[in-house]
Amino acid sequence: MRAIWTIAKRELGAYFSSPVAYVFIVIFLLLNGFFTFMVGGYFQRGVADLLPFFVWHPWLYLFLVPAVGMRLWSEELRLGTMELLLTMPVTSAQAIIGKYLASWIFLLIALALTFPVVLTVEYLGHPDLGRIASGYLGSFLVSGAFLAITCMTSALTRNQVVSFILAVVICLFLILCGWPPVTDAVMTWAPAWIIDALASIGVITHFEALQKGVIDSRDLLFFISITLFFLFTTSVILRTHRA
């Protein structure tokens, strides 16, 4: 654990040593406010909940998470420091987990800074705080799953732009699989089992339940499985670099 936290602290410090991190946080907060109150029509709904806030998170993470994670391994490959890192007294798993945790903590900080939205809802009405906490948990899990995907694409190439595009494509596929307009369109020609299969791997399907305050072990298992699978894939790819 000491090696993991050493790597995580180094990576987290690298984020905040650059103005890019602060720009990302500001953009994330501004977009959250815009989509919640302007596009989501929060005040027009007349309901004290955060559904218009959480419903946009997978779409925001679609671009913002790959932007955060695209440099994780691509930068090491581009600078030629990958070999140095892998020859240090740390395992590939420790390096992967350390880098991943640093980026996930950064995303958690950005998400935590949206607390004024919660205070606004609390001031305007009497929201279900348990439901809000469940929504935040779901949002955090979505960001973690997308980050694991980006970690894998970053290990594939030294080009950060290519890593970003690959991550966006994979994340978009997982969003569209459970997005109602897509499933409704497929329903007109595909059998029910295909619809169910698509919905089962769709991020929206599992995130919607958490937005509503329903913490189901199947939804948690889905996000954990996605995260672990892509982190494992990252380790396989890194072994090819070491070979």
Q: What pLDDT shows up at residue 142?
A: 96
Q: Structural domain boundaries of the chain?
A: 2-242
Q: What pLDDT shows up at residue 85?
A: 65
Please say whether the beta carbons of 48 and 132 come within 8 A.
no
**Whole-angstrom distance, CA of residue 88 vs CA of residue 22:** 31
Q: What pLDDT shows up at residue 79?
A: 66
H helices of the chain, in order, are: 2-16, 19-33, 42-45, 51-54, 57-69, 71-79, 82-87, 92-112, 115-124, 129-156, 160-177, 180-187, 192-200, 203-211, 217-242
Size (the chain), residues: 243
> What would the two tokens of residue 33 be?
């406010």
Q: What pLDDT shows up at residue 162?
A: 92
Please say whether the beta carbons of 237 and 152 come within 8 A.
yes
**Whole-angstrom distance, CA of residue 199 vs CA of residue 157:** 30
Q: What pLDDT shows up at residue 194?
A: 74
Please say whether the beta carbons of 150 and 61 come within 8 A.
no
DSSP assignment letter at 80 = T
**Whole-angstrom distance, CA of residue 162 vs CA of residue 141:** 24
**Whole-angstrom distance, CA of residue 168 vs CA of residue 165:** 5
Q: Structure pTM?
A: 0.89
Q: What parts of the chain have a pLDDT lower than 50?
A: none
Q: Map tokens 């955090």 to a residue.
A: 140
**Whole-angstrom distance, CA of residue 21 vs CA of residue 29:** 12
Q: What pLDDT shows up at residue 125?
A: 76
CA distances from 209 to 66, 105, 132 (A): 24, 24, 12
Q: What pLDDT shows up at residue 140?
A: 96
**Whole-angstrom distance, CA of residue 56 vs CA of residue 102:** 24
Q: What pLDDT shows up at residue 166?
A: 94
Q: What pLDDT shows up at residue 222?
A: 93
